[in-house]
Amino acid sequence: MILSNAHTHTQFCDAVCSAEQMVQAAIQLGFTSLGFSGHSYHKNTLDYGMSPAGTQQYIQEVHRLQSIYLDRLTIRLGLELDYYSSVDLSPYEYIIGSVHHYLDPETGAFYSYDGSVDSFYETLEKGFHGDIFALARTYYTQVTNLITQKRPAIIGHFNLITKRNDVHHLIDEDDPAYQRLALEALRACAETGAITEVNTGAIARGYATQPYPNLTMLRFLREHRYPVMINSDCHDASKLNAHFELAVSLLQEAGFHSVMVLGRDSLFEEVGLCDLALPRSYKEEVHQ
């Protein structure tokens, strides 16, 4: 059975666990592969991103762990590249492309899509004068530009702006205009060959009840035969495979039969959903 995660953070950025703690948890859980994806450096994101010195320490530590655990776990060195980061990408085996912020070109103010509820409302009110559709349009334009220009291997938490939508209902995800906007961006990104991650991180941290992207987007990806992979966006080793069973269930509902994972012989490999290692009770339920 196969268990893999390509979106994993450490204490070099904003996680609560060290890289080695993540590796040890992965081995205990029966993972076959684990990819680290530290947040890239930017001067305005040091509250969660790696510093230049920390970046070098991160690279060295992952290389050390690759050597130590070579026979027990396939470990890959990745990076979560922020929209505004300009860093050397050459040390990394793969890149996750993600948008977290908006830089107002008129005022120079730096706003967050991914912070607290209050910070999101500040972004909406001060950055977009309360116009949620303008915020969505800008966000998806940023995502499209990042993926099509930087060509990362993985599209990170595609519809991040819906992070707190379950409670605050700021975006009508059934609005045809919103769906048209989001799906056009998703198509442009997926056409680059990038893998769309099904990200369970917001569920694990109590912000949402569904992964990114939503079921409508998953059905769109399946209809057009675009690849996906399940990632936990892990910041805590105890949640390394949190809610993977929900992600599998939604992928099955969308019509998927396989996903991409980090491989041993090649960077990415396609495996059947039935080959993923999930809690026993869930597997028994699926196959009844």
pLDDT tens by residue, 194-228: 999 999 999 999 999 999 999 999 999 999 999 99
Predicted TM-score (pTM) of the model is 0.94
> Roughly how many angstroms between the first and final C-alpha of the chain, as a whole number?
19
pLDDT tier at 288 (50, 70, 90 boundaries)? very low
- Residues in the chain, total: 288
pLDDT for 1 equals 78
| Mean pLDDT score of the chain | 94
- CB–CB of 6/154 below 8 Å? yes
Q: What architecture (CATH level 2) is domain 4-287?
A: Alpha-Beta Barrel (3.20)
- CB–CB of 49/42 below 8 Å? yes
Whether residue 280 has pLDDT greater than 60: no
pLDDT tier at 284 (50, 70, 90 boundaries)? very low
pLDDT tier at 282 (50, 70, 90 boundaries)? very low
The domains of the chain are located at 4-287
Instruction: Tell me how far apart the alpha carbons of residues 13 and 24 are, in angstroms, rounded to a whole number.
Output: 19
- CB–CB of 46/38 below 8 Å? no
Q: What average pLDDT does the segment 30-35 reach?
A: 97
Whether residue 286 has pLDDT greater than 80: no
Single-letter residue type at 77: L
pLDDT for 285 equals 38
pLDDT in tens, 83-138: 999 999 999 999 999 999 999 999 999 999 998 889 999 999 999 999 999 999 99
